[in-house]
Structure 1
Amino acid sequence: MMLDLRILLPAFLFVFGLTAVFAQTSPKSGSECERVNATSCEECLKNVTCLWCIPTKSCVTYPSKTILPPHSLCPLNDARWGLCWMNFQTLIITLAVVGGVIIIALLVCLFCCCKCESIGSRRFDARMQRQNNKTKTKQDERKAEMKQRHEEIRKKYGLSGQNPYSRFA
């Protein structure tokens, strides 16, 4: 999942940056918005590049060189862009809150995933340690059984004395 996020995020930012650059550099005729001037908000906002100002009832081309339209063009409370029933200021605040919630949710998910991954590796390490301990215990039991069996064979054949080769081992 981390690999997908590492690839998708830069790709998304690159595409978003390209669209922003092309939106600012593409030639737009300002007459499209001014043509539907003094009609209605719905007619004006059919074109995405237009901004409707309520007090002047004018349809103006959205100033794409600035992020927010200047107050001299139209106050944010009275500006409509995209939706006639929502003013531009509310739209900006709503988008900022939604963006903030998404960023916080992503950070929480990343934190939880990293924490869960380390918990999972600790569980795996503990399980491997238990398995190693169990294997070692079985091996020690087998060694003890073999030693006992060898002692019984030595007693049976009268070889209970010390092994003469034990000092070389």
Structure 2
Amino acid sequence: MMDSRVSAAFLLLVFGLATVLTQSSPGKACEANNGTSCEICLKNVSCLWCIPTKSCVTYPVRTILPPHALCPLNDARWGLCWMNFQTLIITLAVIGGILIIALLVCLFCCCKCENFGSKRFEAKMARNADKTKTKQEERRAEMKQRHDEIRNKYGLKGPNPYSKFA
């Protein structure tokens, strides 16, 4: 069991090193595809295809967007040959904006619903407390009435002689 894991890890390491060592530098690989087609150029992820000059150039990673002098955004292709770079950027920005707005709406709704639920819970607890208090007052009134009836029955209607000790 352990030997198979070690051998699998070793094979992955060997294949990874072989891949890294056999690749040429990305700049040379991109420039070697000048004058070919967009599909051939964009097989390498680090390449950018420029339509008017039919050139395959290394994507300038130091700048986020390729400079206009290298290739206009409308004519640049990266990743997909059928979509220009400008459309790709606009699409990604719109999708990102929609995701951020959706996240904010969800957070707002969750917070509002949570507050609404706690207010509802507090109102329910207040109603229950009022019901309990009302029942307790009714029971006290009934007990007082019963005690008064017993006092009347046995002639203990006057003031309580023990009240001055209390």
Aligned pair count? 142
Which residue, out of 21, 26, 34, partners 1:37? 34
- Closer/same/farther in 2, CA of residues 37 and 165 from structure 1, 3 Å limit: farther
Unmatched segments (≥5 aa) in structure 1: 1-27
Deviation at 1:35, TM superposition (A): 2.1
Matched, 1:123 2:120: yes
DSSP-derived class of the 1:51 partner = strand
Cα 1:84–1:143 shift into 2, 3 Å: same
* Equivalent in the alignment of 1:62: 59
In structure 1, how many angstroms separate the alpha carbons of the residues matched to 2:78 and 2:131? 70
The within-5 A match list for 1:38-117 is 38-117=35-114
Match of residue 151, structure 1, among 148, 152, 157: 148
Deviation, 1:103, is: 1.0
C-alpha distance in structure 1 between counterparts of 2:77 and 2:153, whole Å: 105
CA distance in 2, matches of 1:167, 1:107: 70
1:88-107 Cα offsets, whole Å, 9 max, x none, are: 00111111111111111111
Question: CA 1:62 to 1:168, structure 2 compared with 1: closer, same or farther past 3 Å?
Answer: farther
Identity across the alignment (%): 78
Match of 2:137 among 127, 135, 140: 140
1:167 Cα shift? 4.6
Deviation at 1:165, TM superposition (A): 3.2
C-alpha distance in 1 between matches for 2:164 and 2:45: 95
**2: CA distance, partners of 1:131 / 1:167:** 39
Cα 1:167–1:65, aligned 2, differ >3 Å: closer, same or farther?
farther
**Deviations, residues 67-123 of structure 1 (Å, cap 9, x unaligned):** 000011101010000110010001111111111111111111111111111111111
**Which residue number corresponds to residue 13 of structure 1?**
none
Question: In the alignment, is the contact (CA less than 8 A) between 2:26 and 2:46 conserved in 1?
Answer: no
Task: Please identify the structure whose Cα radius of gyration is greater.
Answer: 2
User: Structure 2 vs 1, CA of residues 112 and 60 (structure 1 numbering), >3 Å: closer, same or farther?
Assistant: same
Q: TM-score, normalised by structure 2?
A: 0.81
Q: Which residue is 1:7 aligned to?
A: none
